[in-house]
Amino acid sequence: MDRSCTKHEGVAEWTGAEPTPESNDLAFLGGTSAARGVALHSHAKPLRPSGAVTTGTILQLLEWQCYRCALTNRPLTPDTASLDHIVPVRNGGKHCIDNVQVLHKEVNRAKSTMTNEEFILLCREVVEHAARHHSEGGES
């Protein structure tokens, strides 16, 4: 998943994919960007933070996620952001920044102690059931 983003009116937005060696060697090495007057590292992605869960690493994680929910891409604010363990502690997940993600609080409440995979499967079941119910003439 491309992790580059830009800020627009206070909200982070996803941008296009970065050049790769296969797509354009000159662009990958900075030649094309430099020729247009763009900084060589203007497309550099921040690294995902690692280590202990601290205020600093959580803020770095928010920046890495472009201030968006890791599962839904909803914008995050201080009132809506909620820290979540990717591998739940009940399943042996560790309490470290490598095993956490920031979710929208409503998403985190619904996910509860499920893994991302379990939660996504549940969401798919709900959508499939709702589509079947709707196609059979049921109310939404």
**What digits encode the pLDDT tens for the residues 124-136?**
999 999 999 988 8
Q: Considering the domain 68-140, what is its CATH architecture?
A: Orthogonal Bundle (1.10)
pLDDT of residue 77: 97
Give the pLDDT score at 137.
81
Which tens digits make up the pLDDT trace of 62-82?
Answer: 999 999 999 999 999 999 999
Q: What is the pLDDT of residue 35?
A: 41
Predicted model pTM: 0.68
pLDDT tens digits for 7-33? 433 444 444 444 444 444 444 344 443
Residues 6+ apart with CB under 8 A from 97: 49, 50, 51, 52, 53, 54, 57, 58, 60, 61
